[in-house]
Structure 1
Amino acid sequence: MADPINFYFACVSPWSYLAIDKLNSIAESYDRSIAFKPIDVGRSWKEAGAGQPLGNRPQVLQDYRLLELPRWAAWRKTEINSHPKYFPAAFHLSSYAIIAALQSGQDVYRLTRALMRGCWVDELNIDDKADVAKIIESVGLDSKTLMSAIENKSVADEMSSNTDEALSLGVWSVPSMVLDGELFFGQDRLEMMIWRLDGN
């Protein structure tokens, strides 16, 4: 079987949210699995020397982002709230929930998607334990078990390891996909990834 597509992401990234359904569709079409790898974006920005928090970016880039978000959402045939109630939010809790689910052997596509939509559509606070538990339950997983597992050292260690791995592959921000060792940065590179999968 072909190697999985590595997906480096954070649920608080709107671009990660805009990537997830298209990436899942690509994986299904080309008989690939997705390796979900939440990373510490603040650390990757700092250590790679690239990227910065939204509020630190030049105003012209902040303004253009607000043009791009609804435009890309329409292109991807999905919905997005460009000014969500709980943004910015810390990414750790949502990432840890996904890693805890992975470590318990769960398929995390639906959970990851629901956490992203929690932030970018449903006006939920994905840095709040009650809201995250609600999202976990909404996809049929046991919130009590996962919320307890989040506290395990192995969960934080895995996110650190994901970040180490991402940096070693040239990843500096999210979303980033690595297909057969080749890095594609940004949800706007998904069509190029299809081109590569088609043998180009």
Structure 2
Amino acid sequence: MASALNFYFDFSSPYGYFASTRINELAQKYGRRVDWHPFAGAPLKPLNSGTSLVHNPAKKAYTERDYVRTAAFHAIPFKLPTLFPLDTRYASRATMWVESTQGEDKGIEFAQAIFKAYYVNDLNIGDPAVIVTIGESIGLNTEQLTAGMHNSFTKEQLRAEIDLASAKGVFGSPFVLLDGEPFWGFDRFDQLEAALKAKA
């Protein structure tokens, strides 16, 4: 069986959200599966030489326009969140805990629910209580999820994931590795599909 696509994403990235709505379908089309890797992007940002949106008003204005335009072009439900960007460490930890204890499929379902909560329903996913409520909505045990999100093992797991992502050259969201070949950005999905097709 062909190797999985490695999909790295930060919940605070709208482009990561857009990618999350397409990546599984794209992979399945070419007989692949997807390993989802959530990370909290702040530790990776020093590796990126680009200017942050916070410090570049022109870039911020353009990018916010582009989020809306991209979502409309691809018919993806989207609303720029009131709190944007925000700390996604709890969302990432919780997703990793679900993946490791409830299985990959449940982890993906949870990640997709978090993305929807943030970019469609405008919920504050930086609040651990909101993350727990999202988990409850898909049938997760709230006490176990709360404990899992805060335990030291999950915290170390997230740190290790960020270190591994950095070692593989990941510097933004979304970031996809296809047999080691990197594709950064939702706007590279046409090239990703071309590469998948060539390898099929």
**TM-score, reference length from structure 2:** 0.91
Q: Which residue of structure 2 lines up, in the alignment, with residue 74 of structure 1?
A: 72
Is the 1:169–1:183 contact (alpha carbons within 8 Å) kept by the matching residues of 2? no
Is the 2:5–2:32 contact (alpha carbons within 8 Å) kept by the matching residues of 1? yes
Aligned mates of 2:51, 2:95 — CA distance in 1? 24
User: Secondary structure, in 3 states, of the residue corresponding to 1:77?
Assistant: coil
State the AA in 1 paired with 2:131: V
1:49 Cα deviation after fit:
4.0
Equivalenced residues, count: 197
Is the 2:40–2:87 contact (alpha carbons within 8 Å) kept by the matching residues of 1? no
Q: Name the Cα RMSD after superposition.
A: 1.6
Is the 1:44–1:163 contact (alpha carbons within 8 Å) kept by the matching residues of 2? yes
1:10 Cα deviation after fit:
1.1
Displaced runs of 4 or more, over 6 A: none
Aligned mates of 1:49, 1:89 — CA distance in 2? 18
Q: Which runs of 5+ in 1 are unaligned?
A: none
Q: Which residue of structure 2 lines up, in the alignment, with residue 37 of structure 1?
A: 37
User: Secondary structure, in 3 states, of the residue corresponding to 1:35?
Assistant: strand
Q: Which residue of structure 1 lines up, in the alignment, with residue 89 of structure 2?
A: 92
Aligned mates of 1:142, 1:52 — CA distance in 2? 41
User: Secondary structure, in 3 states, of the residue corresponding to 1:198?
Assistant: helix
Percent sequence identity is 28
User: Does residue 1:9 correspond to 2:9, yes or no?
Assistant: yes
1:14 Cα deviation after fit:
0.8
Compared CA separation, residues 197 and 85, structure 1 to 2 (3 A): same
Aligned mates of 1:51, 1:146 — CA distance in 2? 36
Is the 2:118–2:125 contact (alpha carbons within 8 Å) kept by the matching residues of 1? yes
User: Does residue 1:187 correspond to 2:186, yes or no?
Assistant: yes
**Could you list the per-position Cα deviations for residues 148-171 of structure 1 after superposition, in whole angstroms to 9, with x for gaps in the alignment?**
111222212222222122212221
1:127 Cα deviation after fit:
1.3
Q: Which runs of 5+ in 2 are unaligned?
A: none
